[in-house]
Every structure is written in structure tokens, then in C-alpha cells.
Amino acid sequence: MPLLRFIPETTNVDFVKYRWWAFGVDGLLLIMSLVAFTVLGFNMGLDFTGGVQMQVRSAQTIDIGTLRGQVEALNFGHPTITTFGGGACNQPVDSCAVIRVQPQEIEGLDANQSNERVVQTVRKTLGSAYTFSNTEIIGPKVSGELFRDGIVATVLAVLMISVWVWFRFEWQYGVGALIATGHDVLVVAGFYALFQWEFNLNTVAALLLLAGYSINDTVVVFDRVRENRRKYKRMSLPDLINLSTNHIATRTTLVSVATALSVLPLLFGGPVLLNFSRAILLGILVGTFSSTYVASALLLYMPPVGGKGVGTGKEEPADAAA
């Protein structure tokens, strides 16, 4: 008995016809990202600002409002407090919490001494009701270097991926890969700025992973375009792009859905995994869209691939053209 298929094996969508709608959506996403960067900026995590991060446990369910009130009463600015459970916490849901305090300046003390004073003060205030399972102190110099290195690593990753596509295919494909992959990383980072999600080293790791995932889909499209270009030498470029994209549309959709389903459980793995997994999920959505609609459509606005014009006749196999 054949399996029930919810997605057809092949599609017949005029992707080129609707490319302006796709470009419009992409344009709005890019504008949103740039405005968010300029107006809001990133909500930097302790990895990039320095400060103190403390993980605490309680035998009872934590009342986050009470805990936040206790910490805010210490006048440490606006500390971030997140409850979670399970995993490394090994406690029921909402029985563990992460307390993040931004760098403090205490007269007569340097940065490290000030952070140590913060830890001691929080411990004394919370008392024996909480067990401190992990405490991290990050200096401002180290955090600044981490942010710079993270940005450089992301930019270099996108550039090197594009160079590889250039040598693997032709320079036109490399330009398309650079724009599509850079677009995916930029848009996902824009969502972090827009919603003020914490931007930390896990986010940078997710963006690097996203760049690799995005280029995988893009290369699949490009490889099919190149294959069909050799097979149908007299087919017009728009028809060639439509044919190639329809050939891989079902495969791309199924792979993206399967990957997203594997990432969804990570959303419930605590604050660290939450920050990582939502970047991946957003990247899957944006990357699938750009690989399907943007990357190959950009070939229409560049010099002909292979240095030859593309005919406008009907599709014709290479042996027939000979």
C-alpha cells in the first residue's frame, strides 16, 4: 500500500514570475533589520558586556516575581532573571533560575573585585533558600574581544563560503551565494535586535551554523541549474530557473521541515538552548525562502553564465541541438 504523500514529488510553480514579490519581502526584512540595528541595537549578553551570571536552585517552585524583587532591591540596574528546569538543572520546571547582572562600578574596586562583591551580595540576600550551582564572572576586556571576534568569524564564514561556490561553479553563482547567505545571517540577526533577544556567543554559533545550512540549500539549486543548462542548451534562463527550482522544491521543503522538527525540542531545553534553537528555526525559514526565490533569480541580473547568451527557444536536449 503506497504511503500517503502530503507534498507532491514535483511542482509546477512559476518562481521567476513571483520573484518581485519575493524581492519585496526580502527588502522589507532587510530594512527592518537595519532599522533595528540602528535604533535598538543588540541586547548584549554577558559574553559581550561582561558581568556576573549565577545559576541557582530551589527545593520549591521559584516565584520569579519575588526573586526579581529581591535582586532588583540591590540596585544593580535591570538584572535579567530566567527560570527553567530539567536538563543540567535536574529539578522540576521553574525550580532553577539564571540571574544575570550587568557590570557594576563600585568605588575603590576594579571590575573583577566589583563583580565578586556582586556575587557575595546576591548570595547574602537570597540566603539558604537557594543553592548556587554555577557562577561565572566575565571581564569587560574579554567580552569586547569576544564580540569583535564573533563578528569577524561570521563575516569571514560568509565570504569563504561564497569563494568556494565561485570556484565550484562560476563567479555569478558566487555572487548569488554571497548575497543570499549574507541576507539570511543579517535578517536573523535583525530579529534578535528587533525583539531584544539576548545576543551572545551561542547566537554567534547559531549564525555560523545557519550560514552553512543556508549555503547547502543554495548549492543544491545551483547544481540543478548547471545540470539543466548542459542538458537544455536552448532553454531560456527564466524557464531554466523555473525548471531547476521545481525539481528540488519538494526535496528542499522536506529537508527543511525535518530539520525544524529536530530543532523544536531544543526550545524547551532551558534559556541557553532556547537562544540557540530559535536562531536556527528562523534561519531554516529565511534560508529556505532565499535559496528558493532569491539565489537563483539573481542570475537573471548578471552577465550570462559561461560567457554565452541564453536562447529563448523551447527546451531541447543537448543531443537534439547537435
Going from N- to C-terminal start, the domains of the chain cover 19-42+143-321, 51-138
Pairwise CA distance, residues 13 & 8, whole Å: 12
Q: Which of 191, 218, 154, 194 is nearest to 279 (CA)?
A: 191
How crowded is residue 126: how many other Cβ atoms within 10 Å of its Cβ?
19
Q: Are strands 198-199 and 43-44 parallel, antiparallel or unpaired?
A: parallel
The model's confidence at residue 10, banded by pLDDT at 50, 70 and 90, is low
The rounded distance, in Å, linking the Cα atoms of 34 and 40 is 10
Q: For the domain bounded by 19-42+143-321, which CATH number is listed?
A: 1.20.1640.10
Q: In what order do the strands lie in the sheet with 131-138?
A: 80-84, 96-101, 51-57, 131-138
Average pLDDT in the 171-185 region? 84
pLDDT category at 318 given cuts 50, 70, 90 is very low
If one compares 54 and 7, the residue with the highest pLDDT of the two is 54
pLDDT at 307 > cutoff 70 = no
51-138: which CATH number, 3.40.50.10860, 3.40.50.1820, 3.30.70.2040, 1.10.3720.10?
3.30.70.2040
What pLDDT does 242 receive?
A: 85
Q: How many C-beta atoms lie closer than 10 Å to residue 202's C-beta?
A: 19
